[in-house]
Amino acid sequence: MGRPETLTRYQLYIGGCWVEPAGKGYFPSYNPYTQEPWAEIPQAGPEDVKAAVAAARDTFDRVWSKTSGIDRAKLMLRLADIMEEEGPRMARLESTDNGKVVRETSSQMLFLARVLRFYAGYADKIWGKVMPLDRSDVFDYATMEPLGVIGIITAWNSPMALMANKLPAALAAGNCVVVKPSEHASVTTLEFAKLVEKAGFPAGVFNVVTGDGATGSALVSGGGVNKISFTGSGHVGRKIAAAAGEKLIPVILELGGKSPNIVFEDADINKATVGALAGIFSATGQTCIAGSRLLVQRTVYDELLKRITERAAKIRLGDPLDMATEMGTVANEPQFNRIMDFIASAKKEGARLVTGGERVAEGNLAKGLFVKPTIFADVRNDMTLAQHEIFGPVLSVIPFGTEEEAIEIANDTPFGLASGIWTTSLNRMHRVSKALRTGMVWVNTYRAVAAQTPFGGVKESGFGRERGQEGMMEFLTTKNVMINFSEQERDPFAVQT
């Protein structure tokens, strides 16, 4: 059978040109709401990846490394304007590709524009510095310079938001990039390349290669890349780190999480209820920062559990393109099966299911990859449910007695990406924030982002930072220059100090 005429077939974007994959063919991208294919994505082979890296390197050497910061900034600001104009269309495309509700993807498109503008402001302000030395006849200075070619590998849950964490800083710093999106959600990255073209970036600054894990492996192991920035699972992150290590390529890894969202007895219960819901059920729980472990002090445990359970049961599931929908589908079938396996395991371990725990099997939603908002109560922190990242709308509610116990439970996980604290005590805010071993702590809010703030994890949640000034520094390297302007002859067999 021939492919349906309604499918859009995309090409690779290499060196400013749209090109067919080198003999590797195409694969379908499925709409998780309808379970039907809606686009065809090229499977890039090693030769395609090599061509993309070569194009980026050539443009870096000839053009982009010689482009002034103010000119880079102008292009980035133009791209931000275009991104805002195209935001509604891009949001619908992403929601079609991964099932996330359009009310969230719409804000994520605007966030990408915001981060582009933030880093555009940095592009002409990458200062060096002069170091005073012990000798008055030696002048020393250091400059901050771009690394060269950056490989960016993003996950399927939020392709454009993850791009926002990486691309603007890399471009502002003066690097060229090769982006490899997830094979489960590639469309918006390819569409974004059209916006880069429209903004007038030099050909080769931005390149896109799509495909499965073999494409990502080729990008990491094929040579020519100066740094890899990856967001995804810890399993894949370990492989990338090992392969990059063989090439001595530095990496930024933003991996998984099992984030504790801690509610103390003095918290504003209404705000804490909303924060708990936002932490796990927004984005269908498919986010690395999901507050998937809700730690609740026993004195307010029953009341908060009752409120969250009642509200979770009323969450509106539906068409991700409908602005009234509150929770969309799981993004792809493998992830759906993984979530259902975790739910089954939790039941066997003895966690108490209070709502959800099954696929939506009735009405118009039956054919979509919908999992009902799921809450397990009386969970022990040593259960599989509490220790493994599920990446779905499944909440573990864990009781605690004292502040010290809450901190102990919160830190008792191999992950360390994000955490939340709900309290009205200023002293407790500071004590607990300091004690939590996570890269991000939210207090009386959850799942909030800003272009100016650094983001990243510790422990098995990865290393390196994105966004903020720290995000810019990840894509720069320091060069030191020492100039001796004395007329004295030196001893060739002694170090000059």
Residues labelled catalytic:
254, 288
Q: Read off the amino acid at residue 382.
A: D
DSSP class of residue 406? Answer: H
Q: Three-state SS for 180?
A: strand
Q: Give the CA angle between residues 187, 193, 198 to the nearest 5°.
A: 135
User: Could you tell me what percentage of the chain is helix, strand and coil, using 3-state DSSP and rounding each to the nearest 5?
Assistant: 40, 20, 40
**Smallest Cα–Cα separation from 438: which of 460, 457, 462?**
457
**Smallest Cα–Cα separation from 186: which of 216, 154, 161?**
154
Q: Give Dmax (Cα) for the chain.
A: 89
Residues 480-484: contacts with CB under 8 Å, at least 24 apart? 480/140, 480/141, 480/142, 481/140, 481/141, 481/142, 481/143, 482/133, 482/138, 482/139, 482/140, 483/138, 483/139, 483/140, 484/137, 484/138
Contact 347, 301 (CB under 8 A): no
**Six-digit token pair at 390?**
């599920």
Q: How far is CA 428 from CA 19, 263, 280, 398, 443, in A?
A: 57, 12, 24, 20, 10
Distance CA 294, CA 262 (A): 6
Backbone angles phi, psi at 155, to 5 degrees: -95, 170
**Smallest Cα–Cα separation from 389: which of 234, 262, 236, 277?**
234
Q: Give the CA angle between residues 396, 398, 399 to the nearest 5°.
A: 160
- Torsion sign across C-alpha atoms 396, 402, 403, 409: negative
Give every strand in the sheet of 476-484, ordered side by side: 129-131, 138-146, 476-484
Q: Three-state SS for 477?
A: strand
Distance CA 299, CA 301 (A): 6
Contact 350, 322 (CB under 8 A): no
Q: Three-state SS for 268?
A: coil
Beta strand 138-146 pairing with 476-484: antiparallel
